[in-house]
Structure 1
Amino acid sequence: MNWKKLLCEKRRRSYSTTSVSTDTRNEFQRDYHRIIGSASFRRLQDKTQVFPLDRGDFVRTRLTHSLEVSSFAKSLGQMIFRNILQYNKDADLTYEDIGKICSVLECAGLIHDIGNPPFGHFGEDYVRDWFRKNLHKLEFDGRKIDELLTPQMLGDLYHFEGNAQALRLLTKLHFLVDENGMNLTYTLLNTIIKYPVPSTAINKKSGNIKDKKMGYYYADKDIFEDIVNSTGAVDCRHPLAFILESADDIAYKTADIEDAVKKGFVSYERLLSDLKNKYMDKCADEAEREEYGKAVNKLEDYYRQACENGISSPEQNSVQRWTIYVQGVLLKCAAFGFTNNYKEIMEGSFPKELLAASHGNALAYALGDIAFRYVFQSKEICRLEIAAGEIYEFLLSKLVNAAIIYDTEHESSAIEQRIMKLVSENYIRAYRINSKGKQENEKLYLRLMLVTDFICGMTDGYAQKLYRELSGIE
């Protein structure tokens, strides 16, 4: 791969910029303003990152998380590619390319979660589980639905994925001018495709991170292939996807710890004890042990300083300062992981996350494991997710039963007709455009996708409100 092709400025729908002669923005800076001004981006302010249905004023939402990822991704781009230029690791790279790369990464951070459904990652899990549990029970035209759909169509539902939904939203569902979505540059779209494989090629045991999940739906195969053929990232990740992934990991791993301490899920004492006693054996060598030990000592230093300065909540203050310090450490580690493996990344053969190939691996693992044990498995989160599950169960059941016979010769009940009238006009329009001339099984698949499109477009608040209204709950 080379940057001249990787920084492809192609869009699905071409347009002329000659009428704005004073506009000096590059194509990727134009993407930024399209994203910031979109309703799809604004909806992220009412989608939770970790705590579903939580109304606390300090807990991160998808919007604040995306802003953090955008900032980290741009910073990583600057750190990495100035180093590559300085040490002449790529003779074809220019300062102009670095500017474009940083613009792409800044935009990618904003939209990387734009396809995720309500109520955090729990929402993705529930959609997958619902289809696995129910699809084989449902019928259309006297046949089981799972017998009518192809393996990839079924896989798209059984392995439903917010990453794939983001590509779908940005290229088709966000209707403003026409059916081409936001009409973003192909480089930006390729950067958010973390897993460039279909649902039928998922292989978590392959040893290559790109095969872990699916990155596009059968319905979006044509646009996916056009994107990767245009950028040259065929059968591999776009190099910038590694950087975006690291920015995302650093943002959520540090934020989860900070939010967990603020909400009382884990105390300063427990955090320090676990860091000291549970994860040192994850360090691969002496250099990584030194980096890890330095981070643990820093947390104690910040706590001591907070006590000496008479701060009323030294625990929270020290953890807040520490997470900022850890962010800096992990950013440098991710930058090292990219530059040290630059040749393999550009060849498309690098199989890991960047942090896993750096001295920050043990520290990153510790943060994720602590958050998982004390937050994601806590009784409070379980209660919140059970409530969110009730909403999903109700909405999926109502919508899927109505969608199966929508736009067919089968007669819908009065309730089913009214349920389909609730679906966004944009999504209905996208369905009609993309189902035109298709075979019946593909139309059925697209009607099921219409349900997931509608649900993914909901905010937490809207999903809860719709559930209450349709259930007759005051």
Structure 2
Amino acid sequence: MNNQKKWKLLLQDYRFREKTPAISTDGRNPFENDYGRLISSAPIRRLQDKTQVFPLEQSDYIRTRLTHSLEVSYIASSIGQSIENILINKKQIDPKYKGYLSSLLRVSGLVHDLGNPPFGHFGEEAVKKFFKDYFKSQEFIDYEKLVQNENKSDAPILNIFEKADFENFDGNVQTLRILSKLYYFGDEFGYNLTYSTLASCIKYPSNSVKGNLGKNKNIRKKKFGYFVTEKEIFKTLNKHLKLNNKRSPIVYLMESADDIAYSAADIEDGVKLKIIDIYDVRKIFKKNLSKNKKIVIAELDELIEKHEKGEFDESIVIQKFRIFTQRLMISNIIETFEKNYDLIMNGDLEYEIIDVSNASDIRAAYKQLQYIVFDDKNIVKKEIAGWEAIYGLLKILVKASQSPNFKKEGNTYESRIYKLISSSHRFVYERVEKYENQEYKKLQMITDFISGMTDTYAITLYQELKGIKL
């Protein structure tokens, strides 16, 4: 399939079921329709109280997961507009699809972190560590070894794929589950988004056993992309969009927007909180820049000079510097996309676009600054508190789930724990999720519930259940 046909396929309005008919005056394209389905929903709103970098931060200036997602959405849309104009001029995209790529990237940026648990990546680590500890303490037996054994007993059984889903839990993978299943809106199709929007959130199109290989030559296997419960959804997307178990081109572009947004914004927030200052920024950039040293340091020196003259305060300096470097990165992303066009369209580029662009040194400099910010003691203390809450909640709920009384009927301790789980997650568990392994389903419902919490709710619920706060 040539690239023109690939774009035509990617920009079509394919969904798992036919959408509700639009009113005659609705001028939205399919991906603007997707954005509308998402923007007012609870999973999006909960991002307002989920950590970007600074957990439970009281300052309303500092970014949350929601404000970060909105920034990624806009940057992705902006990149999409520029690339779309180039591709239309080169007759790669039909002019009748003008605006579609930008809209697709806009919605992809909005949802890219939707599945992140409370306390961000540290929260992911807490989930993974809990299940690694839990499976070590249980006599879990691989299902394949018991196929011929009629007496499978009542012992909980998970196969290697099911165990790996929990031991390698990842917010990116949870995003696909939320979008395709957990947001129940009258049927089993969730938001009923377009195939291309769903595929755009699958950064690593492998299962949890064949993926998670770390930084090897196959970027698509660095982590994994779908749980066993969403395997058939992945297969449908992969087959229909002809992705050949590789990344959608949209993934590369959305990932670039994410890199541009968070690398610069995290440092802006760090300066605002006085963890670092503009002189730290200059020192690190001067040390780590190569290709862009002259132009970037000249811009920063000019801004610092105005600060020292009293024209700008430090927050204005870092904001203007962030905008300047983001502009450089965006232009380099577009240029690198053109240079690697066929590789990206085929899903064969084995690096992030930013890392093979001429702006890779800017990204590297920001990353060095991030290490300083992330090691701030106030951040570390709150992350540890978040870890304890997530690990502790999993321990309470999973232990209760081992009892036959873990159900809505009854007045036992375990039934009360069951009733603590949100009604929407219980409904999906009881009525929507068709996966056969009940033990896996129970653990997944618990993980769905806890990973969907906001930072504040997770801390509060844990304190309440432990009697620390009533």
> What's the TM-score, normalizing by structure 1?
0.91
Aligned length: 452
Cα 1:16–1:181 shift into 2, 3 Å: closer
- The equivalent residue for 2:144 is none
Match of 1:120 in 2: 120
Amino acid of the residue matched to residue 354 of structure 2? L
Query: Which residue is equivalent to 2:101?
Result: 101
Point out where structure 1 has 5 or more consecutive residues left out of the alignment: 284-288
Shift of 1:433: 3.2
Please give the per-residue CA displacement for 1:410-467, whole angstroms capped at 9, x wherever unaligned: x9982221111011111112112355572xxx21111111111001211111112211
Distance 1:437 1:105 in 2: 31
Aligned-partner Cα distance in 2 for 1:358–1:453: 37
Amino acid at match of 1:394: G
After superposition, what is the alpha-carbon deviation per residue over 1:246-287, rounded to whole angstroms, capped at 9, x for unaligned?
Answer: 00111110011101111111122222112112x14xx4xxxx
Q: Does residue 151 of structure 1 match 2:160?
A: yes
The Cα shift of 1:142 comes to 7.7
What is the deviation of 1:300? 1.2
Task: Work out the CA distance in 2 between the residues paired with 1:139 and 1:433.
Answer: 29
- TM superposition score normalised by structure 2: 0.91
The answer for the alignment partner of 2:68 in structure 1 is: 65
Distance 1:68 1:173 in 2: 25
Aligned counterpart for 2:427 among listed residues 429, 441, 447: 429
Corresponding residue number in structure 1 for 2:216? 206
SS in structure 2 opposite 1:49?
coil
Give the aligned partner of residue 39 of structure 2: 36
Distance 1:404 1:368 in 2: 43
Give distance in 1, aligned partners of 2:374 and 2:435: 45
Whole-angstrom distance in 2 between the partners of 1:434 and 1:234:
29
- Residues 1:466 and 2:467 are matched in the alignment: no
Give the letter aligned to residue 427 of structure 1. H
Question: Could you tell me which residue of structure 2 aligns to residue 326 of structure 1?
Answer: 325
Mapped pair 1:370 → 2:369: yes
1:10 aligns with 2:14: yes
> Which residue number corresponds to residue 298 of structure 2?
297
The 8 Å contact of residues 395 and 467 in structure 1, kept in 2 or not, is answered as yes
Q: Tell me the distance in 2 between the aligned counterparts of 1:444 and 1:207.
A: 35
- The residue aligned with 1:286 is none
1:81 to 69, 76, 84: 84
CA RMSD of aligned residues (A): 2.1
Name the stretch that deviates more: 204-213 or 47-56: 204-213
Matched with 1:306 is 307
Tell me the amino acid that sits aligned with residue 359 of structure 2: G
| Identity score, percent | 39
Deviations 1:64-89 (A, max 9, x none): 00100000000001112212333x2x
- The 5-angstrom pairing of residues 115-194 of structure 1 reads 115-138=115-138, 148-194=157-203
Any conservation in 2 of the 1:47–1:62 contact (CA below 8 Å)?
Answer: yes
Alignment partner for residue 390 of structure 1, among 379, 388, 409? 388
Aligned residues of 1:7 and 1:231 also touching (Cα < 8 A):
no
Q: Distance in 2 between matches of 1:307 and 1:369?
A: 25
Q: Deviation of residue 150 (structure 1)?
A: 1.2
Q: How does 1:13-24 map to 2 (within 5 A)?
A: 13-17=17-21, 20-24=23-27
> For the structure 1 residues 334 and 406, does the alpha-carbon distance in structure 2 shift closer, same or farther, using more than 3 Å as the test?
farther
Query: Aligned equivalents of 2:457 and 2:247: distance in 1?
Result: 35
CA distance 1:389–1:437, change in 2 (3 Å):
closer
Q: Which residue of 2 aligns with 1:417?
A: 415
Report whether the alignment pairs 1:229 with 2:239.
yes
Cα distance in 1, alignment partners of residues 394 and 238 from structure 2: 33
Distance (whole Å) between structure 2 residues aligned to residue 256 and residue 21 of structure 1 = 44
